A and B are shown apart, each in its own frame.
Chain A
Amino acid sequence: MMGGPVWLSVQLAVVTVVVLLVLGTPLAWWLAISKSRWRSSVDAIVALPLVLPPTVLGFYMLILLGPEGAVGGPWFNVTGNTLTFSFTGLVITSVLYSLPFVVQPLRDAFRSVGSGPMEAAAMLGARPIDAFFTVACPLAARGFLTAIVLGFAHTLGEFGAVLMVGGSIPGETRVVAIAIYEHVEVLNYAAAHQLSAGLLIFSFIVLLLVYSVNRRGRGASIG
């Protein structure tokens, strides 16, 4: 019973981060190097989840993913399932909700790599896609680490948008944050304590790991 929401949250966070890396990496690269006039608009859209109340995002997602919605309707016709109140719906919502936490560190890391190493790679005969994977990505490794950790942790801690889109279906959409809320509502403080403390310690350990890895990396580069 206790393993349920925790396991579900971890699954959701892993799937969300993987999806975000696949979609967010090219987007971050484009944002880092593009001179297009659309760049500012895309930057602003990516940053929206940072400033929007989660309920606003959740509300629009509920409409979009619902059986009458632009995405949920076709999905229902093809699969026979609804996206709202489902794990898949949660993943789509989380991807949007955590987008800036993955894309922005990647974009900044790519930007600080700059065009120099890419030009150097081209002069050695590397095609752009080759240079991207063998030069830009390794040089942006720290950005990837930050993006993965922030994306993962942020998805774990998500509450408002998930509640709006997913509700609280055990094993399907009842993630840790919602389980805690419900424990508190029925005054089961012992269970709430257990989950909250677990989440607190886990988050602390993850952040500690990131900061010490970052510090060690920096120390080595000075030496």
Chain B
Amino acid sequence: MSQPRLEFDVCLERPGFTLSMAGQSRPGITAVFGTSGCGKTTFLRCIAGLEPNCRGRVRLGDEVWLDDYHARPAYQRNVGLVFQDARLFAHLTVAGNLAYALRRRQREGPALEEVIDTLGIGHLQQSLPSMLSGGEAQRVALARALVAGPSLLLLDEPLAALDYGRRRRIMALISEIPERFGISVFYVTHARQEVLELADHLMLLDKGRCILHERVDTAFSAPANWARLGDLDPTVIWEGCVLGHDAAYSSHQIDTPGGVLSVPSKPIAIGQSVRMRIRSNDVRLLHQVAGLNRQANMLPVVVVSTQELSAGMLLVELKTPAGGRLWSDIDLQAAEQFELNQGAELQALIRPQLLGFAAR
């Protein structure tokens, strides 16, 4: 299924705050990320049609939702919105909540059974919302939004109130939504880990403006973004493709921008794309020594530059033969063993960390 594109150029003024955002949706999951009060929720509400004072333009595919002359009311926009507090109807059972959405569906949408099955809420059908745990309530809210057959799904920190284990389980379900139901997802969060694990694209908000809209791997790998993504350690995010599986070590060979790396994990299908994070302290530098045993995840690298990271620590920028960029931190004492001039050839021992839900 194709995912219709959302184009927006919206403005909302409130005392002491102005939201002004323009852009367009991209396929998959876009994380709307930023500190509290930067306008993430307000942006979603503008798109959903819940902010009567929102001005500008919004269109989805060839449907105009907002322009100078008219604003399509929220109930005709066919947008799914899952609120932070679930907002299930307390007077209806879980089945009643789902039926409420199904009865008002305006176009084709996923089958009720498929949604119930995907989110694992079959056993809750006769429960009242007051009897559900936080995680169950959010799964039902997600199911209710999907059953309505939305052409765009907005998630407003749906997992903020849950503990880490539950959050991961629901995130794994959310990660399947764009492909399975053919809709783009905007996912508001202030948790960096959720962005890395879940999102394909990142919109970084600051004081009501979008200051970055990029692929997640590009955004997190650029040194210029580390500070504004919340004091990130020097990091690269590599997206790669599973080449093979080594059953003896439960590890997978993954073709990355830096070369082939091996990562332990539960079975992943060959050909599946995965994302990994390599922080500067996950990269150890070794000398080029003849006769050195080739280890897994050892890549030849070339020094590009060095700079001081903090007192006594040096940050080394490296390049792999395949053209991938890497960072390694090293203390000054250890650095004396190496000639870290530009162009020096070394070995890098890498411990990549697998992100996302492909293998979990």
| Partner-B contacts on A (CB < 8 A) | 116-117, 119-128, 130-131, 134-135, 138-139, 141, 220-223
- 28 A-B residue pairs with Cβ-Cβ distance under 8 Å, sorted by A, are A116-B87, A117-B87, A117-B90, A120-B83, A120-B87, A121-B89, A122-B49, A122-B50, A122-B73, A122-B74, A122-B75, A123-B48, A123-B75, A123-B80, A123-B81, A124-B75, A124-B144, A124-B145, A125-B78, A125-B105, A125-B106, A126-B100, A126-B104, A131-B75, A134-B100, A135-B89, A139-B89, A223-B131
- A124–B48 Cα distance when bound, in Å, is 11
Query: In the complex, which of the residues A117, A123, A127, A128 contacts B79, with contact meaning CB atoms closer than 8 Å?
Result: A123
Name the residue on B nearest A119 (C-beta).
Answer: B50
B148 at the interface (CB under 8 A from A): yes
- A117–B79 Cα distance when bound, in Å, is 16
Residues B87-108 near A (CB distance < 8 A): 87-91, 100-101, 104-106
| Partner-A contacts on B (CB < 8 A) | 48-50, 73-76, 78-81, 83, 85, 87-91, 100-101, 104-106, 130-131, 144-145, 148
**Residues A124 and B148 in contact, CB atoms below 8 Å apart:** yes
**Residues A119 and B100 in contact, CB atoms below 8 Å apart:** no
Please count the residue pairs between chain A and chain B whose beta carbons lie under 8 angstroms apart in the complex: 69
**Residues A123 and B145 in contact, CB atoms below 8 Å apart:** yes
- A139–B105 Cα distance when bound, in Å, is 22
Query: In the complex, which of the residues B79, B83, B91 contacts A139, with contact meaning CB atoms closer than 8 Å?
Result: B91
**Residues A139 and B90 in contact, CB atoms below 8 Å apart:** yes
- A138–B89 Cα distance when bound, in Å, is 10
Name the residue on B nearest A135 (C-beta).
Answer: B89
**Residues B91 and A138 in contact, CB atoms below 8 Å apart:** yes
Name the residue on A nearest B45 (C-beta).
Answer: A119
Name the residue on B nearest A116 (C-beta).
Answer: B87
- A121–B81 Cα distance when bound, in Å, is 10
Additional pairs, 6, CB under 8 Å, beyond known A125-B104, A127-B75: A116-B87, A117-B89, A119-B83, A120-B87, A123-B148, A125-B148
**Residues A141 and B74 in contact, CB atoms below 8 Å apart:** no
Name the residue on A nearest B92 (C-beta).
Answer: A138
**Residues B89 and A123 in contact, CB atoms below 8 Å apart:** no
**Residues A124 and B104 in contact, CB atoms below 8 Å apart:** yes
Q: What residues of chain A lie closer than 8 Å to B83, measured between beta carbons?
A: 116, 119-120
- A138–B90 Cα distance when bound, in Å, is 9
Query: In the complex, which of the residues B48, B75, B81 contacts A126, with contact meaning CB atoms closer than 8 Å?
Result: B75
Name the residue on A nearest B48 (C-beta).
Answer: A123
Q: What residues of chain A lie closer than 8 Å to B79, measured between beta carbons?
A: 123
